[in-house]
Structure 1
Amino acid sequence: MNLSRRDVIAGAAGLVAASPQALAQAPAGAHAFGFDRPGGGQLSLADYRGRPILVVNTATRCGYAGQMATLEQLWQRYQSRGMMLVAVPSNDFGGQEPLEGAAIAEAARQSHGATYAFVEKTVVKGPQAHPFYRWAAAERPADTPRWNFHKYLIGRDGALIGGFPAATDPLSPQLVQAIGRELQVG
């Protein structure tokens, strides 16, 4: 396709002339993505626009699975202040998520008291990764999941604030402070 200089300038002018309302309604960053829920439906990150979102890839048979209880403590501490917590079960690291669907959330609830949102088991690394994880990898190539329980903090505006590796405890000062900063914005 050959575009003339006039076509390019006209297209750019159209972008500049877009109304602020249209730009505000356009999906931005993480808010452009959603995850399948066990049993059907979607968990759309856009539904949490204006709130910080912590997205964590989980696995019930991982040595870090105890973090599900610590994530619950974090959830209990910050959900009333607006934080959203999304568990994204994955079998990508060591085949440590043998369960499927709602059985994953139920196992996490029984073993660790987890009451936050769980989505369907999802691929989080490589070319077959869920679009959210491909976007996050492009945004922060040095902060990609290298094991289960990698944590991504999404800002109120949908921007990727940071990535926290598996060994980072959910109640670590650096993660708690980052969440606190996002909760104070606005």
Structure 2
Amino acid sequence: MKLLCTLFSATTLIAAAADLTEIPFKTIKDEDSSLADYQGKVVLVVNTASKCGLTKQYEGLESLYQKYKSKDFVVIAFPCNDFNGQEPGTAKEIQKFCKTKFDVSFPLMAKIHVKGESQHPLYTALTGPEGAFPGDVKWNFGKFLIGKNGEPIARFEPKQTPESPEVVAAIENALE
């Protein structure tokens, strides 16, 4: 019975992972995109905000991106205003802030909701009751690591910095 439950859980996770790549979203420049655009890459999905105590994590995210991008790694930022209105800016304001304050070069997506009734389908697939990692995103800079095959690998809480050993180890393992 335990083996059957394990097989069912694994099958459910793989089915959810396959669906992740098909979920559409918009870039910050209002272009259509999805995780399928990053097929074959390890992806770190992060909900971000420019007026948060954790905003300095942009620096660590950019550092990770620069260190591993040649090995098929990408950071994808989803600005989010769900937590105390800490991302009130327009797309242009967010782009300007990220470039001038942190010289961000990784992809920025359009602002989305990561929780609540208007939760984006990508975050429902990641955190919903049937998601890969059930449970609401707790704050800005929550991180999800997606493997080269589109399978969710790990979830990191907001206070786990991009350069924390567990985040770096998970990225390096996924890149092998």
**2: CA distance, partners of 1:127 / 1:159:** 25
List aligned pairs for 1:107-126, cutoff 5 A. Answer: 107-126=97-116
Q: 1:155 maps to which residue?
A: 147
1:115 Cα deviation from its structure 2 partner: 1.1
**2: CA distance, partners of 1:113 / 1:74:** 13
1:40 Cα deviation from its structure 2 partner: 2.2
Q: 1:16 maps to which residue?
A: none
Cα root mean square deviation, aligned: 1.3
Structure 2 portions without partners, runs of 5+ = 1-16
**2: CA distance, partners of 1:44 / 1:136:** 14
TM-score by length of 2: 0.85
* Counterpart residue type for residue 74 of structure 2: M
Contact kept in structure 2, 1:29 and 1:159, CA below 8 Å: no
**1: CA distance, partners of 2:63 / 2:42:** 16
**2: CA distance, partners of 1:116 / 1:54:** 11
Are 1:180 and 2:172 an aligned pair? yes
Are 1:141 and 2:134 an aligned pair? yes
**2: CA distance, partners of 1:141 / 1:158:** 17
**1: CA distance, partners of 2:147 / 2:115:** 22
Are 1:97 and 2:87 an aligned pair? yes
Contact kept in structure 2, 1:30 and 1:154, CA below 8 Å: no
* Counterpart residue type for residue 35 of structure 1: F
Q: 1:129 maps to which residue?
A: 119
TM-score by length of 1: 0.81
Comparing 119-128 and 89-98, the one that deviates more = 119-128
**2: CA distance, partners of 1:118 / 1:83:** 15
Percent identical pairs in the alignment equals 37
Number of equivalenced pairs? 157
Contact kept in structure 1, 2:30 and 2:110, CA below 8 Å: no
**1: CA distance, partners of 2:19 / 2:40:** 12
Q: Secondary structure at the match of 2:155?
A: strand
Q: Which of residues 42, 46, 64 is equivalent to 1:52?
A: 42
1:43 Cα deviation from its structure 2 partner: 2.3
1:106 Cα deviation from its structure 2 partner: 1.6
* Counterpart residue type for residue 141 of structure 1: P
**2: CA distance, partners of 1:171 / 1:97:** 23
* Counterpart residue type for residue 138 of structure 2: R
Structure 1 runs of 4+ off > 6 angstroms? none
Comparing 155-164 and 27-36, the one that deviates more = 27-36
